[in-house]
Amino acid sequence: MDPENSKNQENLTLEERLERVPMDEREKLEKSWNSLRSSMPEIEPEKGIQISKIEWSNPEERKKKVEEMQEFLLKAFEGEEMVDSMQMEIGMQHGIVDYYAARDEQGKLMSLLSSQLVETKNKAGESELSMIFWYVANDPEYKGRSVAKGLGTAALTDFLKRAQDQLKPVKAILGEAEMGDEDEAKRERAFNRYAGMDRLYGKKKNGELFEVLYEAPPEDESTKGAPAHFMVRMVDGSKTISQEDYMELVKGIHSQYTRDEYFTPEYYAFMSGVSPKLLKLAHVAQMYHKRYKKITEKIDQKLEKKVNEAQGDLVLLSEREKRALDSQ
């Protein structure tokens, strides 16, 4: 689209833009948007609690927001660093990752949600948008004052608007639930509670179900991915997903880990603790980016091989549904 047409499109209402779309495509768009809209709970925040997207007007203000969120996350996750400050700032600066905050009557952070768009292609080669919730962090001092659904609805409302702005259908709500610690079940239930996401299962030849485990790319130069439960809710309400669609979503998530914006000389210097003046960091950063992409591709191949063991489509089941099936 040329710049002039693009500018004209921006001045049109959504309805006017939709009128220019072929009828079958328009119906598909509106159906997916309506499905997402109808699935969002109408939450009225507790009196005094404010829920909003984290925004800023200049780099200095953005830096202060990052410092506040980093301090909050370290407290919420008991010293575990979920994301480093420079990665967070890059994500915000380039509009890659969004953050939504719940604040108390005094403006103090109570809860923080991180989300991001994931774009994939369907079998026809058409673009579809999904949203991944990276995490919800809660200040333990506010235990019992749940705001997770309100944060989720705020993020999903923006997700819908962005899909409408881009005239693209919405496909799924996604999450990575880490494994292997005492908080595993709690984390999974949180995904289910604020976005209705379930785990994914495949069927063996004998009909037995097995979980289709996911791997997140490593945060460092390790070649090992981080095993996790793949949490998903299909926007159209489907309780099954094809193996091909699963792998497309996985690759869509992984492509966010390998974005060019995160592989700059400055970020490499920050991560390695080396002064940019001591190395030809542009070359080193490019090499690391290339190596990291290969690591991620190998994880994709491993997951694809595993999912191919399933017979037919994959099934979405909540913890309760899986437990009921196991007891039969």
Write the DSSP symbol of residue 300. H
As for how many domains the chain has, the answer is 1
Q: Please give the model's pTM, rounded to 2 decimal places.
A: 0.88
Q: Is residue 265 part of a domain?
A: yes
- Quote the pLDDT of residue 96: 95
Contact call for residues 97 and 88 (beta carbons, < 8 A): yes
Q: Note the helical H segments in 40-84.
A: 59-76
User: Residue 222: inside a domain, yes or no?
Assistant: yes
Average pLDDT of the segment spanning 161-184: 85
Report if residue 44 sits inside a domain: no
Both structure tokens of 63: 């830096």
**Cα–Cα–Cα angle for 70, 74, 75, rounded to 5 degrees:** 120
Q: What is the number of other CB atoms lying within 10 angstroms of the CB of residue 155?
A: 26
Residue 247 lies in a domain: yes
Q: Which two tokens stand for residue 68?
A: 């506040």
SS3 state of residue 116 = strand
pLDDT in tens, 256-269: 999 999 888 788 77
Are 105 and 48 in contact by the 8 Å Cβ rule? The answer is yes
Three-point CA angle 42, 46, 52, nearest 5°: 70
Whether residue 86 is contained in a domain is answered as no
- For residue 1, the model assigns a pLDDT of 47
Residue 232 bridge partners (DSSP): 174, 198
Which of these, 212, 218, 216, 180, lies nearest to 198 by C-alpha position? 212
Classify residue 88: in a domain, yes or no: no
Residue 57 within any structural domain of the chain: no
pLDDT interval class at 3 (50, 70, 90): very low
* pLDDT confidence of residue 84: 87
Q: Identify whether 164 is part of a domain.
A: no
Q: What does the pLDDT look like over 75-98, one tens digit per residue? A: 888 777 778 888 999 999 999 999
Which tens digits make up the pLDDT trace of 28-55? Answer: 999 999 999 998 877 776 788 899 999 9
Tens digit of pLDDT for each residue in 102-128? Answer: 999 899 999 999 999 999 999 889 999
Residue 82's pLDDT is 75
The answer, yes or no, to whether residue 223 has pLDDT greater than 90, is no
pLDDT tens digit sequence for 227-257: 888 999 999 999 999 999 999 999 999 999 9
Kind of pairing between the strands at 209-211 and 214-216? unpaired
Q: Give the range of the structural domain holding residue 324, as residue numbers without chain letter.
A: 197-228+239-328
